[in-house]
């Protein structure tokens, strides 16, 4: 084997879960490994549906949903827009006719 090409092996590497705090010691080339979900808190293994908010994604989704609901409530319907355009066009046509006469 060639010397100085293999990574350093840590026999007491620590793997820690960021969601539930579970820690386990194992061997690895990295001294510390952090995971978002482990077998103790993952819905597939626990059989329970739990909300795991990584980086505020749920809050961001709620803000976007609220923003779109406000926009859709304040937006006028297509029929109202068409009627408004038709009225403006008729008014413009009427003003052209009165100017020509």
**What do you get for the CA distance between the two ends of the chain, in Å?**
102
Per-residue pLDDT of the chain (101 residues; tens, 9 = 90+): 688 898 999 999 999 998 889 999 999 999 999 998 888 888 777 777 766 666 777 888 889 999 888 877 666 677 788 888 999 998 888 887 776 65
Closest by alpha carbon to 25, among 37, 9, 14?
14
Domain spans in the chain, listed from the N-terminal domain onward: 10-87
C-alpha span between 86 and 17 (Å, rounded): 62
Question: Residues 6 or more apart from 50 whose CB is under 8 A from it?
Answer: 41, 43
For the entire predicted model, the pTM comes to 0.43
Into which CATH architecture does domain 10-87 fall?
Irregular (4.10)
């Amino acid at each position: 084997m060639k010397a100085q090409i293999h990574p350093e092996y840590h026999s007491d590497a620590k793997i820690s879960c960021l969601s539930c705090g579970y820690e386990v010691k194992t061997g690895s080339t990295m001294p510390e490994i952090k995971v978002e979900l482990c077998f103790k808190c993952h819905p597939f293994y626990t059989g329970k549906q739990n909300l795991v908010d990584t980086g505020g994604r749920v809050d961001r989704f709620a803000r976007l949903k609220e923003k779109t609901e406000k926009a859709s409530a304040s937006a006028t319907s297509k029929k109202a827009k068409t009627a408004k355009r038709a009225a403006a066009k008729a008014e413009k046509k009427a003003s052209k006719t009165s100017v020509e006469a």
